[in-house]
Structure 1
Amino acid sequence: MKVSAQNLHAFCVQALTQVGVGEPDARTAADVLVTTDTWGTFTHGTKALRAYIRRLRGGGLKKKGVPKVASEGPAWAMVDGDSSLGMVSSVFAMNLAMAKAATAGIAFAGLRNNCHYGAAGYYAAMAIEKNMIGFSMANDIPTVNAPGARGSVMGRNPFGFAAPAGNEKPILLDMATSTVAGGKVFAAAALGKTIPGQWLLDANAKPTTDPTLFSHAASLTPLGGYKGYGIAFMIEVLSAILTGAAIRRQVLSWTFSDASKPTGHGAAFIAINIASFRPVEQFKQRMDQMIREIRASEKADGADRIYLPGEMEWERREKALIEGIDLPEDVAASLRGLAEDLNLDFDRFLR
């Protein structure tokens, strides 16, 4: 199913405002979710809107929540998300980090009392227009195995990084610290497909290709084994232990838990003001140089191209903004289900 980014954005705004979210916050959330879909990262885009609205209607997310600064210094801040939409509180926190970095050179903003915030890369990418380098990370409920363990030990704990370039496209990294994001496993289950054997471990820590076992009877494998496990631990420290957010099993599932309760997620954002360290144009020229050197590297047999981090996403976005977003079946089904929940005419937005 194909829909324009503009119409999909309008649907998200209408759905959110209909359940009581103010229009500015609804537009912020829609910006994050629709941008994510234009990147082709459908597991973290508008597909999640139905679950967010379930929590808004249940009270676990506050329709009129207002993120606020709990404490701060010249180059740091701690933000209380007030159980508002994760996209709203995270945009607030990243904007705060960038504002402080503009004068301090580098700044950290921690966020507690948050919820699932969608794609980590969105918040990191906010730094690009400010000629800054951005980092974003968050914790989640344990769904990922650790080497030697049976069952889940850490969350998928996503990480985002973005840096501007000159004539080349900006660099954008958005990744889970599991081998794949859990959303890809849920998507495979919804479509009745099997998955690669390296994605999941069953209750006995043995590889399985059955996505329906996740997450009640299977755990995701950590990215690169102990390396992904270690990075996930680092993210838990920065986004939860340091910020005062819920830790590991204290975090509630944003999709399956009691919708009347806050999930307690934490997040962390870092902004680096390039101009504080060297001339911005010099930095961008050096970025372009490295990008071009990598692209010109000798290609393996059968490879047509060497992609830079984020290059696929930017190209998909350019195409989606012109031709429309081609939504996968599971995303379309979720949006149609939401429209039925709210008595909205989803087909009207396809015209």
Structure 2
Amino acid sequence: MSTHFFTYDELKVFCEAAFHRFGFSEQDSAVITDVLLLADLYGIDSHGTNRIVMYHDQIRAGYIDINAKPRIVSETPVSAVVDGMSGMGQLVSEFAMKKAISLAKSSGIGLVTVRNSNHYGIAGYYSLMACNEGFLGISMTNSLAAVVPTFGRAPMLGTNPFAFSFPAAPQPFHFDASTSVVTVGKAEVASKLGKALPVGWGINSEGHDELNPAELLKGIYAGVAGLHPLGGGTEEHGGHKGYGFSMVVEILCSIMSGGNTSNHVESEEGKSGVCHFFAAIDPKIFGDPSAIQKNLETFLDELRHSPKADGKNRIYTHGEKEAEAYTRRLADGIPVNERTIVEMKDLAGYLKMDFHSYFPDLKK
């Protein structure tokens, strides 16, 4: 399957215009687009432009209320609970992390849990919001059940990603990962590219490894198949640890907020109830922020220069690959596969947008 490279500006203008046509304000459209395109720039293709049609489908299905405004339902000097009111996940989450940052500026720490939201994009976008203020940032979310518990074959947990960002030079320590072997988006991308899945990604309704991404996705959405937790489907390779990490995310997001657990995220009434958790922590509550950051930078440098495994010439620290992809893709363009381009073109037609005016280099 062919791939075309678009410039950041081309995709930015198209996505902002599309979200504006969905009914969002120009400001909100810019926020949503910023989250998607950071994923594309970081090389997380499963959560970037690839998702725009999914959001449109969720709006049409009634899961996302484009007019919703999140509200704080309870608050202390260090915490808050936010009701997303079925709003767009990126907008609800920006609101919630800004609240966490505000609390951290006044109290040293801000913890915010969210209920009744929607898919929010990459978790790391929001942890970086806190990091850019000089704070430790944490971001988590549950999602539609797509992951089986250890020794199970029915999806009960979301991919439940966790992101942790901390200021450092030349780039922050930035860890962003699902608590499943892979995300649903990775299976979607494999399906679009016509690629078989590796053994160990997911399990079918009969309890066996599923290598066909389309069949795995079909089973996930039917609630009879799922991805494995991080570590795989056995205790021998630590699958029970990924299962436990996923539960930690679930407790902080859905249980603490009084919201829906992953297996009840999409209700029979056609409502979505994704839940999130955000934290911003000012390092000065532990000591001199400059000294703490320097200590981290020293350790990161020691990690990079520690002995390499046979045949390997580099040890990465978390955030380096994303930073390098960001620079490379800004210069060389963002790859978008042919299937996603067709989806974008069809969406543009539905929205009465002139697709080729946004991407003049594409052949008509």
Superposition TM-score tier, normalisation by shorter sequence? over 0.9
Correspondent of 1:221 among 218, 228, 240: 228
Distance 1:118 1:276, change over 3 A: same
Runs of 4 or more above 6 Å deviation: none
Mapping of residues 300-311 of structure 1, within 5 Å: 300-311=309-320
Q: CA deviation at 1:349?
A: 2.3
Aligned partners of 1:266 and 1:130: how far apart in 2?
24
Residue 356 (structure 2) pairs with residue 347 (structure 1): yes
Correspondent of 2:141 among 129, 138, 142: 138
Q: CA deviation at 1:63?
A: 1.6
Aligned partners of 1:44 and 1:281: how far apart in 2?
34
The 10-residue stretch of structure 1 (12-21 or 273-282) with the greater mean CA deviation from structure 2: 273-282
TM-score by length of 1: 0.94
Q: CA deviation at 1:163?
A: 0.8
The one-letter code of the counterpart of 1:287 is L
In structure 2, the gaps of 5 or more residues are: 220-224, 232-238
The one-letter code of the counterpart of 2:11 is L
RMSD (CA atoms): 1.7
Aligned partners of 2:330 and 2:293: how far apart in 1?
26
Residue 278 (structure 2) pairs with residue 269 (structure 1): yes
User: 2:144, 2:265 within 8 Å by CA — same for their partners in 1?
Assistant: yes
User: 2:147, 2:227 within 8 Å by CA — same for their partners in 1?
Assistant: yes
Aligned partners of 1:281 and 1:300: how far apart in 2?
33
Aligned partners of 2:342 and 2:317: how far apart in 1?
32
Aligned partners of 1:134 and 1:270: how far apart in 2?
6
TM-score by length of 2: 0.90
Q: What is the identity percentage for the equivalent residue pairs of Structure 1 and Structure 2?
A: 34
3-state DSSP of counterpart to 2:295: helix
The answer for the alignment partner of 1:14 in structure 2 is 17
The answer for the alignment partner of 1:290 in structure 2 is 299
Q: Deviation per CA, 1:160-217, whole angstroms, max 9, x where unpaired?
A: 1111103x21111111111011111111122211010110112122222121222343
Aligned partners of 2:204 and 2:65: how far apart in 1?
36
Residue 345 (structure 2) pairs with residue 336 (structure 1): yes
The answer for the alignment partner of 1:250 in structure 2 is 264
Aligned partners of 1:329 and 1:271: how far apart in 2?
39
Count of residues paired in the alignment:
345
3-state DSSP of counterpart to 1:242: helix
User: 2:203, 2:216 within 8 Å by CA — same for their partners in 1?
Assistant: no
Aligned partners of 1:300 and 1:328: how far apart in 2?
34
User: 1:178, 1:220 within 8 Å by CA — same for their partners in 2?
Assistant: yes
Q: Deviation per CA, 1:124-176, whole angstroms, max 9, x where unpaired?
A: 1111210011111111122111222122222111111111103x211111111
Distance 1:125 1:212, change over 3 A: same
The one-letter code of the counterpart of 1:345 is D
The answer for the alignment partner of 2:8 in structure 1 is 5
Aligned partners of 1:150 and 1:15: how far apart in 2?
38
Q: Deviation per CA, 1:318-350, whole angstroms, max 9, x where unpaired?
A: 122223212233433332232222122233223
Mapping of residues 68-217 of structure 1, within 5 Å: 68-166=71-169, 168-217=170-219
The 10-residue stretch of structure 1 (216-225 or 27-36) with the greater mean CA deviation from structure 2: 216-225
Aligned partners of 1:134 and 1:333: how far apart in 2?
37
3-state DSSP of counterpart to 2:322: helix
Mapping of residues 26-37 of structure 1, within 5 Å: 26-37=29-40
Aligned partners of 1:150 and 1:22: how far apart in 2?
42
3-state DSSP of counterpart to 2:164: strand
